[in-house]
Amino acid sequence: MKTNTLPRENRLRKSSEFQKVYKKGQRLRGDNYSLILAPNTKNIGRLGISVHGYKGAVKRNRIKRIIREFYRLNRSIIPASMDLVFTVRQGFVLESPQDIEKSVRKVLKKAVISRSKDL
């Protein structure tokens, strides 16, 4: 097995898996993207990617590749038993896994702060 890949068991693949996360997950908004996090019954984190508003498979696939690379390198940011759907809207301009990491860390930090204020 290749060591630099994201294994199949770490990806959401079925429509029903995505729908479960959309219905039960918490949505966190960033610049032209959203993170939807939902707990799962498995002991592994899984990633799903949804790209909207981009014509041309080359652009969509590049965005997906960058997001998968970000997730592969930064799995420690997301709790292990969580499913994450990364939805991208037109205007998404983050060009590297490092750019995405910085942005996602800001969004997650705001979410943790806002949840602690609610308590």
Q: Per-residue pLDDT for 20 more than 80?
A: yes
Domains of the chain: 8-118 (3.30.230.10)
d(CA 58, CA 24): 31
User: pLDDT over 90 for what percent of the chain?
Assistant: 57
Q: Per-residue pLDDT for 35 more than 70?
A: yes
C-alpha distance from residue 62 to each of 67, 74, 80 (Å): 9, 18, 26
User: pLDDT over 70 for what percent of the chain?
Assistant: 91
The per-residue pLDDT of the chain, averaged, comes to: 87
Q: Per-residue pLDDT for 116 more than 50?
A: no
Task: Give CA angle at 27 (51, 30), nearest 5°.
Answer: 65
d(CA 63, CA 89): 11
C-alpha distance from residue 83 to each of 45, 46, 94 (Å): 6, 5, 22
Give mean pLDDT, residues 28-55. Answer: 92
Handedness of CA 94, 98, 103, 107 (dihedral sign): positive
Q: What is the pLDDT of residues 55-112, one digit of tens each?
A: 899 999 999 999 999 999 888 888 888 999 999 999 898 889 999 999 998 998 877 6
What's the pLDDT at 1? 47
